[in-house]
Amino acid sequence: MNYKNWVFCCVTLFYSMVTQAQNNFDAFFEKKSLRVDFALSGNVEEQSAALRQLREEPVWGGPVKNLIDKFIYGSNYINLYDKQSGRLIYSRGFNTLFDEWITTDQAKNETQSWDNSVSVPFPKRTIILEITARERKTNKFHPLLRMDVDPGSIFIDKGKLKENKIARIQHKGDPAEKVDLVFIGEGYTASEQEKFEADARRFTELLFKTDPYGSRRDDFNVWAVGVVSEESGTDSSGKGIFKNTALNSGYYTFGIDRYLTTPDMRSIRNAVWNIPCDAIFILVNVQTYGGGGMYNFYAIGTADNEKTAHVFVHEFGHSFAGLADEYFSSEVAYNDFYPLNMEPWEPNITTLIDFDSKWKDLLPAGTPIPTPLTDAYKDKAGVFEGGGYVSKGVYRPMDHCMMRDYHPFCPACQRAILRMIDYLCDKDY
């Protein structure tokens, strides 16, 4: 085959693959969402899942070509199979707060149930819906819930929900081809809604001041959903402070004063029911340092702390790109969070069990593995011991990074963020 014919073939193949992917979407899905609310329950020994409700919602803003998620990130996956053919037609990984909770001491003595919610494209015909969980000891996924879903079922709620004030902060194009980042206001009263929108605009600028987000600004649509809370602020249970807020957020998650989260995933999804949404950042109207972020779940942070900019970009790194914490000298409540005989799924830490699957290709030639923290190596990509909350056995890609101590993102984190942007923009990734 001559060169011209070869190029022609490649181009034809590429277009037929793109058309095929698009056809797959049109064959199996409508451009609406099926929202799946479910509970994860259990303790350190055993976990189970149960359906809470199914909802049809009017918008699908996710990819229409990248329907199968190849990242294999997260503690759980949602898989959709075409019932007739048995073929996998959609998958997506995610993390939950419940998955963190089962590594705490509390989960040794108590059994709890946590709310979760995931949106998938709305099926045209009957599917098998499956939720799987990653086994901590083997890294393999096993099904927690498997059920048929008939899109015509009377048990799917199609009702409208409360229409909140939505501000379009930045619009760059078709939601299927852009990352739709949604800020949700928490702890802002009716009279503080202008402040929320101004805060969301300020945070948008903070994000795009940071690379690699800045270099890809045109790939993002940004929205702000003004949810009204009865009271200003958030809970701080360890200090006896309890506020009546829309999303039920609070500090002292797992007993840690600075760990600000909310278990109320249903209220979060209720807030975004009528807009495209690839990534959620909950902006909490308080000053105290704190925040949190779980992969493809949400990130949360405080509007007015002096370190806000960094906390925001750090926590968003967890939720958006599945990045791990690279720090290792801090108070955490977890036990054996990263088993050392297993390669963690996060793209920016390694136990060296399967380092080839991580950032080995980013190391300068001749870099020793592991890499000593000497003048010759400390400012370059390497494999430095300490990360993922422990000083031994887990390694990070650079001495400093946004995911350790608010320095610029290391090369491994940068690549992971760019890959996620490509995936959500329906490009090759």
Q: In 10 A of CB 381, how many CB atoms?
A: 19
Distance of closest approach, residue 417 Cβ to Zn ion, in angstroms: 10
Q: Is the peptide bond before 263 cis (omega within 30 degrees of 0)?
A: no
Of 240, 253, 252, 231, give the one whose Cα is nearest residue 186.
231
Which residues, other chains included, contact 177 with Cβ-Cβ below 8 Å and sequence gap of 6+?
425, 426
Task: Select 276 or 317, whichever has its Cβ closest to Zn ion.
Answer: 317
Size of the site for Zn ion (CB under 5 A): 5
- Work out whether 184 is an interface residue with Zn ion (CB under 5 A): no
Distance of closest approach, residue 16 Cβ to Zn ion, in angstroms: 38
* Tokens 């819906």 found at: 129
- Work out whether 410 is an interface residue with Zn ion (CB under 5 A): yes
Kindly write out the interface string for residues 318-357 of this chain, putting x where it contacts Zn ion by CB under 5 A and - elsewhere. ------------------------------x---------
Distance of closest approach, residue 146 Cβ to Zn ion, in angstroms: 36
Distance of closest approach, residue 293 Cβ to Zn ion, in angstroms: 14
- Work out whether 413 is an interface residue with Zn ion (CB under 5 A): yes
Distance of closest approach, residue 397 Cβ to Zn ion, in angstroms: 5
In contact, 220 and 178? CB cutoff 8 Å: yes
In this chain, which stretch among 75-83, 91-99, 145-153, 408-416 interacts with Zn ion, using CB under 5 A? 408-416
Q: Is the peptide bond before 370 cis (omega within 30 degrees of 0)?
A: yes
Distance of closest approach, residue 409 Cβ to Zn ion, in angstroms: 6
Q: DSSP for 244-284? A: --TT--BS-BTTBTTB-B-S-HHHHHHHTTTS--SEEEEEE
Task: Select 169 or 413, whichever has its Cβ closest to Zn ion.
Answer: 413
Distance of closest approach, residue 418 Cβ to Zn ion, in angstroms: 13
Distance CA 151, CA 154 (A): 9
Alpha helices in 70-165 (DSSP H): 97-101, 106-109
Q: Which of 403, 416, 420, 425 binds Zn ion (CB under 5 A)?
A: 403
Helices 411-424 and 308-321, interaxial angle, to 10°?
A: 60
In this chain, which stretch among 191-199, 236-244, 289-297, 412-420 interacts with Zn ion, using CB under 5 A? 412-420
Distance CA 15, CA 295 (A): 32
Kindly write out the interface string for residues 372-401 of this chain, putting x where it contacts Zn ion by CB under 5 A and - elsewhere. -----------------------------x
Q: Which residues bind Zn ion (CB under 5 A)?
A: 348, 401, 403, 410, 413
